[in-house]
């Protein structure tokens, strides 16, 4: 992999991390968080996918990894709920069923 590409991905990744904190950890606009969360998750997984493609692993491994990322992306989106009462995110490990109450204020999660 070319070094400039690696640096570019590092910067994009840093931007995504900061963006995630600004968008999802702060503020109380739950509707906006819910709207942006799938967009953000898909975009960050596309970035990971691009890194995999650029790293040029053996074709079978690359296809396997990319195929694995699609359900993982969907499960990641599903595993995070935003609380209407306090606006904070409740995350569960992606292989568990989505949380039913807020991990911060214990109110039931409607969506």
Contact stretch for Zn ion (CB under 5 A) within 2-10, 17-25, 68-76, 99-107: 99-107
> Is the CA virtual torsion 22, 24, 28, 34 positive or negative?
positive
**Does 104 participate in binding Zn ion (rule CB under 5 A)?**
yes
Distance between CA atoms of residues 13 and 106, nearest Å: 32
**Does 85 participate in binding Zn ion (rule CB under 5 A)?**
yes
Distance between CA atoms of residues 76 and 95, nearest Å: 9
Contact stretch for Zn ion (CB under 5 A) within 5-13, 35-43, 57-65, 94-102: 94-102
Q: Which is nearer to Zn ion, 72 or 86 (CB)?
A: 86
Contact stretch for Zn ion (CB under 5 A) within 5-13, 36-44, 75-83, 93-101: 75-83
The pair phi, psi for residue 94, each rounded to 5°, is -60, -20
**Does 102 participate in binding Zn ion (rule CB under 5 A)?**
yes
Q: Which is nearer to Zn ion, 44 or 88 (CB)?
A: 88
Give whole-number Cα distances, 90 to 8, 14, 30, 31, in Å: 31, 22, 12, 15
Among 45, 80, 83, 89, binds Zn ion (CB under 5 A): 83
């Amino acid at each position: 992999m070319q070094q400039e590409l690696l640096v570019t991905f590092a910067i994009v990744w840093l931007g995504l991390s900061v963006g995630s904190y600004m968008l999802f950890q702060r503020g109380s606009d739950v509707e906006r968080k819910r709207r942006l969360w799938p967009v953000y998750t898909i975009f960050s997984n596309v970035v990971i996918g691009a890194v995999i493609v650029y790293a040029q692993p053996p074709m079978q491994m690359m296809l396997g990894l990319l195929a694995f990322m699609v359900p993982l992306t969907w499960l990641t989106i599903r595993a995070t709920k935003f609380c209407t009462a306090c606006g904070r995110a409740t995350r569960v490990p992606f292989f568990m069923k989505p949380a039913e109450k807020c991990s911060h204020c214990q109110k039931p999660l409607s969506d």
